[in-house]
């Protein structure tokens, strides 16, 4: 979909909201911006955000946050709402909700949370804003600023796309400006999001006391992550009154004794290992281990291994992995790192065998699936890669990267129709319809497909063109 259409769609919502007088809240929330409209805008934003370079694409981080988010969303009062969670590389402590159930979380928040329940409490609060449809209701309340800011953010993202050097700056500006202004939720919204969020947190089995505790520390300004300011406070006005309110509710709920998942600790260590220079990261983990300042010792060894890997000190990284093998329960993230290390150290056979064994135990860990497929492709085994990818597409039918890898495998086999078809699906699942159509057209022209393959591509192309026509009809 061309950008201009997207922007005009956004801007169209403002006059539409004001045109026919204002019906009651509930109705407006439904009519001004339908869930389908929200979904579409959310997907467009996701696509731009994905291209901005400010997003953490690491599949293990993404999958962890998605799993945590889905676990919470599954306990929300609105089970028809779709959710997508993504991680923004930003040290400030924040999370935000966009149309279509799209929720962004800053790395600073993940690193600042001292327990998984604290991280979950902020996510649950954001889910609360989404299920109460606060964005749509703000439009209904003539808060046009919301839409101006969404448009501003879209422009900033466009600029970021056409000029990658600007990406960081404009994304920052978009977040600081747009999200701050537009998502100036009212106190009423905040109370609602707290109330709904707390229910979700409780039903999903987290420690509800984490919510007031984390909020309190944010308010006192005692919880910082290396210069990351708690910008959450700007977008979600927090008062002592509000915290007291949450605390009262918590007292009426049953207490859950909760231990953090190993993933929570490993993901935090992985993000931490990416900060600063490789040498700084190594020193940080060595220091933590020396002074025993940790909740999970295994996670610190994992982080140290990641930091050594960044520094290209693979022998030391392998030593840390060996420590993990001896002292920690078997974990998919450690297995993934170990197999990657073997590959990087020039032992492709050992890497393949580690990937294969680990996948038998953790069949849906995408870090392993990607790693194994990449290793097979790197050593020129497209048949084995295609077999693996085909199996895993049954679990992850919407995974763009699996299609991407499939396309690479077909390229190695010299199969042009299949290569473009798979690449087209990769674009489609990255919300890039125009490029998907282009690839399907190339597939038809490739000249090496049989009748059956050609008719599948033709049918798909027709379908994609219809989808493409849809927003134009709207305009
Ligand atoms: Zn809020």
Q: Which two tokens stand for residue 379?
A: 């050593």
Say yes or no: 330 and 204 in one domain. no
Q: Which domain holds residue 120?
A: 3-251
Say yes or no: 211 and 311 in one domain. no
Say yes or no: 242 and 296 in one domain. no
Measure the N-to-C terminal CA separation of the chain; round to a whole number of Å.
12
Of 191, 216, 251, which marks where a domain is finished? 251
- How remote is the CA of residue 184 from the centroid of ligand 1, in Å? 8
CA separation for the pair 183, 104 (Å, rounded): 13
Q: How many domains does the chain have?
A: 2
Q: Give which of 407, 330, 390, 391 is closest to 361, Cα–Cα.
A: 330
- How remote is the CA of residue 297 from the centroid of ligand 1, in Å? 34
212: in domain = yes
Of 217, 251, 285, which marks where a domain is finished? 251
Say yes or no: 387 and 293 in one domain. yes
330: in domain = yes
Say yes or no: 91 and 150 in one domain. yes
- How remote is the CA of residue 123 from the centroid of ligand 1, in Å? 10
Say what the pLDDT of residue 30 is.
Answer: 43
Per-residue pLDDT of the chain (475 residues; tens, 9 = 90+): 333 223 323 333 332 332 233 333 344 444 456 667 777 777 777 777 777 678 898 999 999 999 999 999 999 988 788 898 999 888 888 888 877 788 989 999 999 999 999 999 999 999 998 888 877 666 555 444 555 555 455 445 444 434 444 444 445 544 544 444 444 567 888 899 999 999 999 999 999 999 999 988 887 765 554 445 566 776 677 788 888 999 999 999 888 889 999 999 999 999 999 999 999 999 999 999 999 988 899 999 999 999 999 999 999 999 999 999 999 999 999 999 999 999 999 999 999 999 999 999 999 999 999 999 999 999 999 999 999 999 999 999 999 999 999 999 999 999 999 999 999 999 999 888 899 999 999 999 999 999 999 999 999 999 999 988 855 444 3
Say yes or no: 394 and 365 in one domain. yes
Say yes or no: 88 and 211 in one domain. yes
Cα 243–chain centre separation: 28
Taking a 5 Å cut-off on Cβ, the residues next to ion ligand 1 are 185, 190, 193, 236
Say yes or no: 321 and 297 in one domain. yes
Say yes or no: 190 and 274 in one domain. no
Q: Is 84 helix (H, G, I), strand (E, B) or coil?
A: strand
Task: Output the domain CATH number for residue 309.
Answer: 1.25.40.10
Q: How many CA atoms lie within 13 A of 368 on its CB side?
A: 23
Say what the pLDDT of residue 1 is.
Answer: 31
Question: Which residues are designated catalytic?
Answer: 126, 194
- DSSP letter at 85 equals E
Say yes or no: 226 and 325 in one domain. no
- Model pTM greater than 0.85? no
- How remote is the CA of residue 254 from the centroid of ligand 1, in Å? 24
- How remote is the CA of residue 190 from the centroid of ligand 1, in Å? 5
Say yes or no: 105 and 194 in one domain. yes
Question: Could you tell me if 320 and 273 are in contact, meaning their C-beta atoms sit under 8 angstroms apart?
Answer: no
Say what the pLDDT of residue 81 is.
Answer: 84
257: in domain = no
152: in domain = yes
Say what the pLDDT of residue 82 is.
Answer: 86
Say yes or no: 341 and 426 in one domain. yes
- How remote is the CA of residue 270 from the centroid of ligand 1, in Å? 28
Say what the pLDDT of residue 150 is.
Answer: 55
258: in domain = no
- How remote is the CA of residue 121 from the centroid of ligand 1, in Å? 11
């Amino acid at each position: 979909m061309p950008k201009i259409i997207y922007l005009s769609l956004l801007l169209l919502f403002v006059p539409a909201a004001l045109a026919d007088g204002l019906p009651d809240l509930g109705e407006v929330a439904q009519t001004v911006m339908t869930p389908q409209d929200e979904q579409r805008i959310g997907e467009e934003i996701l696509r731009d955000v994905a291209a901005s370079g400010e997003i953490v694409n690491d599949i293990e981080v993404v999958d962890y946050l998605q799993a945590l988010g889905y676990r919470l969303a599954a306990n929300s009062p609105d089970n028809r709402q779709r959710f997508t969670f993504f991680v923004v590389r930003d040290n400030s402590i924040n999370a935000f909700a966009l149309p279509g159930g799209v929720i962004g979380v800053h790395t600073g928040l993940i690193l600042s949370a001292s327990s998984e329940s604290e991280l979950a409490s902020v996510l649950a609060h954001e889910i609360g804003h989404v299920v109460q449809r606060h964005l749509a209701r703000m439009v209904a309340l003539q808060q046009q600023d919301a839409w101006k800011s969404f448009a501003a953010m879209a422009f900033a993202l466009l600029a970021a796309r056409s000029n990658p050097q600007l990406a960081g700056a404009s994304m920052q500006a978009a977040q600081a400006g747009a999200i701050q202004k537009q998502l100036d939720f009212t106190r009423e919204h905040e109370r609602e999001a707290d109330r709904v969020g707390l229910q979700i947190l409780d039903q999903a089995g987290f420690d509800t006391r984490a919510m007031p505790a984390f909020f309190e520390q944010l308010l006192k300004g005692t919880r910082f992550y290396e210069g990351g300011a708690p910008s959450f406070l700007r977008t979600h006005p927090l008062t002592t009154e509000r915290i007291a309110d949450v605390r009262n509710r918590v007292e009426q709920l049953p207490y859950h004794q909760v231990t953090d998942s190993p993933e929570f600790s490993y993901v935090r260590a992985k993000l931490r290992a990416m900060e600063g220079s490789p040498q700084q990261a190594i020193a940080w983990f060595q220091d933590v281990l020396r002074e025993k300042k940790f909740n999970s010792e295994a996670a610190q060894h994992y982080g140290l291994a990641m930091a050594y890997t960044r520094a290209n000190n693979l022998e030391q990284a392998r030593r840390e992995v060996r420590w993990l093998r001896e002292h920690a329960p078997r974990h998919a993230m450690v297995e993934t790192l170990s197999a990657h290390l073997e590959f990087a150290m020039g032992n492709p056979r050992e890497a393949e065998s580690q990937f294969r064994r680990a996948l038998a135990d953790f069949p849906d860990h995408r870090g392993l699936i990607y790693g194994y497929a990449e290793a097979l492709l790197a050593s020129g085994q497209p048949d084995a890669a295609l077999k693996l990818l085909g199996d895993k597409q049954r679990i992850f039918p919407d995974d763009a990267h699996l299609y991407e890898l499939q396309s690479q495998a077909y390229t190695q086999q010299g199969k042009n129709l299949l290569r473009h078809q798979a690449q087209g699906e990769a674009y489609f699942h990255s919300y890039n319809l125009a490029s998907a159509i282009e690839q399907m057209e190339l597939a038809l022209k490739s000249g090496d497909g049989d009748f059956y393959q050609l008719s599948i591509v033709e049918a798909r192309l027709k379908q994609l063109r219809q989808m493409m026509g849809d927003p134009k009809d709207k305009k």
